[in-house]
Amino acid sequence: MAEAFTLKDCALIAIATGQQAQTLRELRDRLETTQLSCIYYHFWGGLLRPRFDDPEFQNDFAIWARHSIHDKPLAERLALIDPTHFHDLENLRRELIDIIEERLDESELLPWARASQRFYFVRSQIVVFDTDRRVHEPGELKALIPHLSAGSVFYHFIDARRRTPFGNDDFSEWLLGFKEKYRALVDRIAIIDPYFTTLVDLRQELAGVFEEYLST
């Protein structure tokens, strides 16, 4: 029998670092030294801060490349980076820099192009708190998921990947505590793509999967 699942919530607060970039070269240079929490914020922070539900690009670097540097090829390449593939943020930083350097090499004008708007580097602090809710059975979790706050979805389904040894979400980690009983459900959860979506849609998708697997 697995231990009770502790349902938590989180809230994020953004902090300006004072660093900014007005050209692609400057962006590359700042990326070399900026704190890893900045990289995390510009990939994931959009889910928890004011943003329109259906942005054209999912990370801030791609958005800047498209709308401020006006370079579509770079925007497309940056947009394709999936941060869930990088358990180590240092590797994610490297990937970003590699893509930018490759594009700088390809274009004669791009290294000198001034952005119409600067890129402001922002980091964040996450405050995690207990909701005082405990879940003992997966069936209870099924009933709870449709009512989770966006912060809870973020904490247990996205932030968890930085905390758990194999980069799993918290729900799967907990379900694995029941040995093989919920293996099929865990496998199904594993194919939910947490990146190209919103927290509300993610919650709906999760609820659908729990409903499908625990109703039979």
Partner 1 sequence: MAELLTEYEKIVGPEVIDQLRQLAKLLAGMNVVHVNSTKEGGGVAEILHRIIPLKNELGLTARWEVITGDRDFYQCTKLMHNALQGNRVNISGAMLKNYEKTAQENAERLREVLEGADMVFIHDPQPAALIRLCNARRGKWIWRCHIDVSHPYRGVWKYLREHIKGYDASIWSLSEYVQPLPHPLYLIAPSIDPLSSKNIKLSDEDLAKTRTKYGLDPSRPIITQVSRFDRFKDPIGVIHSYRLVKEFLPLQLVLAGGGATDDPEGEEVLAQVRSGAEGDPDIHVLLLPPDDHLTINALQRISDIVLQKSTREGFGLTVTEAMWKGKPVIGGDTGGIRLQVINHHTGFLVNTPEGAALRIRYLLKRRDKLLEMGSKARQFVLENFLITRHLREYLTLMVAVMFEHEDRIEPQ
Residue 207 lies near partner 1 (rule: CB under 8 A)? no
Residue 88: CB minimum distance to partner 1, A: 15
Candidates 3, 32, 52, 166; binder of partner 1 (CB under 8 A) is 52
Contact 8, 128 (CB under 8 A): yes
Candidates 110, 151, 174, 185; binder of partner 1 (CB under 8 A) is 151
Q: How far apart are the first and last CA of the chain?
A: 21
Please give the helix or strand (H or E) that residue 179 lies within, else none.
none
Q: How is residue 212 written in tokens?
A: 């499908």
CA dihedral 163, 168, 169, 173 (to 10 degrees): -100
Candidates 77, 94, 118, 188; binder of partner 1 (CB under 8 A) is 118
Residue 76: CB minimum distance to partner 1, A: 19
Nearby residues of 202 by Cβ (< 8 Å), 6 or more positions away: 153, 157, 192, 194
Residue 102: CB minimum distance to partner 1, A: 28
Site string for partner 1, 27-46 (x = CB under 8 A): ----------x--x------
3-state secondary structure of 121: strand
Residue 195 lies near partner 1 (rule: CB under 8 A)? no
Residue 122 lies near partner 1 (rule: CB under 8 A)? yes
| CA–CA dist 59, 99 (Å, integer) | 14
| Residue among 18 and 165 whose Cβ is closer to partner 1 | 18
3-state secondary structure of 187: helix
| Residue among 151 and 194 whose Cβ is closer to partner 1 | 151
Q: How is residue 31 written in tokens?
A: 């990326």
Residue 3 lies near partner 1 (rule: CB under 8 A)? no
Residues that bind partner 1 (CB under 8 A): 9, 11-18, 37, 40, 50-52, 54, 118, 120, 122-132, 147, 149, 151
